[in-house]
Chain A
């Protein structure tokens, strides 16, 4: 709940101002309209189809680790 998920940019469509982001094995397209200066390999927080802001690799990894703990605790419902 109330989460924006870190995901890594794996492709950018400059014309459409969108990116393909990867979260584990899942890939999805998001709008880059609300962020500036993002590049391939950057991590961004994504929420309802938008990249919200860029975060460091360390911060993304720490956050993803916490989400992994959530999954282990079974608080994420199937």
Chain B
């Protein structure tokens, strides 16, 4: 087992049905304890290196929690920089699935070249936006450039998406507003993304994994303080006694998605279209607009502090308790713990699969990848 942990997903199959689903996790969910006893600035610098998958979202949640605990207020410009960088990271993470994993379902080669280009654009975007400074340190350490020009990088990214994902400009793809027009786009098979959705529709897997699972609601700080002190909650969270979903599917809206949801529920097709929709929407929101971020609300010192971020895989929560500038308690609640809870979204969706062993294996991989753990997983069919 690696330090990063993994998931073991066991499906017990008989008579072409899934009889039982077991999800085991070796993820080090209490890893944030290593920050106890460390200076707050040291934690802010090292945390995104340790939690480097979605490191930007992790850094953002951390600094927000620390600012709340210290009663500090970031400038709107710094908060806007942070929001832009989180959006760019979310876009990269969503693209990872589409460029590197979706082609595998078509028995095509992953598009590593486009992924590498995306990662290079992300690095350049961050450097240009921040001037090489770190906006995820405490106010005063951040830096706002007088003139920022990321337009060219955003245009390059948009052009890449047009060629390798949508086969048309992202805005035009977002204008697809009904199922018939969407089916025409899928039928064109212009890109691996369109062809993967074509596979899902041809196999009649649109409703794969459809199940009843309520969205995770917005959680208030007071509730989170109480819950996050419980190690069992951090490892296997539930809200009001039941499992909840927090994914891109729970936060992305469009006219097309609403029609697909009405027809196919929260099955595979809606999840994949939600991912594409989020990519297109994010690509249109990468230019800084500090005026739109609005003032950061802060009601004095609230120690322990809570920081929340909509990360690529769902809602990410950090809680930090400080004593004289030193961390005395730190908890992180990641979306994977909600979605891959032993009785949660993935387990419930997998339990609905039908087919022979080979079909169930392929369906399970599609569904798991659509919900997306941030660690490797082993799928065992027994």
Contacts and interface: CB of A to CB of B under 8 A. Distances in A.
Given A31-B112, A34-B115, A75-B33, A3 B46 contact: no
A75 B50 contact: no
B3 A71 contact: yes
Given A3-B4, A33-B112, A66 B336 contact: no
B90 interface: no
A62 B5 CA distance: 20
Contacts of B100: 50
How big is chain B's contact interface, by range? Answer: 35 or more
Contact of A66 (B27, B50, B58): B50
A70 interface: yes
Interface string A1-24: 111110000000000000000010
Contacts of A70: 3, 28, 31, 33-34
B177 to A, nearest CB: 35
Interface in A27-78: 31, 33-36, 45, 47-48, 50, 52-53, 59, 62-63, 66-67, 69-71, 73, 75-78
Contacts of B27: 1, 77
A25 to B, nearest CB: 13
Contact of A48 (B58, B332, B376): B376
Given A2-B334, A53-B119, A70-B28, A75 B34 contact: yes
Contacts of B375: 1-2, 48
B353 to A, nearest CB: 23
Nearest to A76: B28
A78 B69 CA distance: 34
B378 to A, nearest CB: 12
A53 B3 CA distance: 18
A45 B52 contact: yes
A15 to B, nearest CB: 15
A52 B248 CA distance: 23
B140 interface: no
Given A34-B112, A34-B115, A3 B51 contact: yes
A23 B238 CA distance: 35
A71 B26 CA distance: 13
A34 B4 contact: no
A5 B3 CA distance: 8
Nearest to B36: A73
Interface-central residue, A35, A52, A66, by most chain B CB under 10 Å? A66
Contacts, number: 100
A50 B58 CA distance: 21
Contact of B58 (A2, A23, A67): A2
A52 B3 CA distance: 17
Contacts of A2: 4, 51-54, 58, 334, 336, 374-375
Contacts of A3: 3-5, 28, 31, 50-53
B3 to A, nearest CB: 5
A4 B119 contact: no
B360 interface: no
Contacts of A52: 52, 119
B2 interface: yes
A69 B3 CA distance: 11
Interface in B1-17: 1-5
A32 to B, nearest CB: 10
A34 B3 contact: no
A45 B334 CA distance: 20
A76 B30 CA distance: 8
Interface string B362-382: 000000000000111000000
Given A4-B4, A5-B3, A33-B116, 14 more contacts: A1-B51, A1-B337, A2-B51, A2-B53, A2-B336, A2-B374, A3-B3, A3-B5, A33-B110, A33-B113, A34-B115, A34-B119, A36-B116, A76-B26
7 contacts: A3-B51, A4-B53, A73-B30, A76-B3, A76-B26, A77-B28, A78-B26
Interface of B: 1-5, 26-31, 33-34, 46, 49-54, 58, 100, 110, 112-113, 115-116, 119, 332, 334, 336-337, 374-376
Interface of A: 1-5, 23, 31, 33-36, 45, 47-48, 50, 52-53, 59, 62-63, 66-67, 69-71, 73, 75-78
